[in-house]
Amino acid sequence: MIKYTIKDFNKNFPDDDSCLEWLKNYPYPEKIDCPVCEKPTKHHRITTKKVYDCDYCGHQISPAAGTIFEHSSTPLKLWFYAIYLKTRRAEFHRPGPWVNE
Ligand SMILES: [Zn+2]
């Protein structure tokens, strides 16, 4: 099993922006099918907001929309850290090979 340590976590998610980037890239690793101009385009981050806009028409999408993060005032990094802790802990509840069935 590959261990995903807190060091790995902090390297992958140093700040809120990296968490938002992950949220965008998870469903859209390459390009986003823009709902307005209907073209698969690259979207660029608007630095002042938590949104990305379409290179072609400027339509904005929010990677946090429709997720538990959308209306939260908790920083994304903190959410991600909580999820990291929870998923790590889940590992301990899984029976290992030493458990007799
Ligand atoms: Zn567009």
Bigger pLDDT: 72 or 97?
A: 72
Q: Would you say residue 41 has pLDDT above 90?
A: yes
Is 85 strand, coil or helix? helix
Centroid of ligand 1 to alpha carbon of 51 (angstroms): 14
Centroid of ligand 1 to alpha carbon of 31 (angstroms): 11
Tokens at residue 12, please? 């992958």
| Mean pLDDT value of segment 32-49 | 93
Average pLDDT, the chain: 85
Look up the pTM and report it.
0.78
CA distance 58 to 43: 9
Bigger pLDDT: 100 or 26?
A: 26
CA distance 99 to 101: 6
Give the pLDDT band (50/70/90) at residue 100. Answer: very low
Tokens at residue 85, please? 């802790």
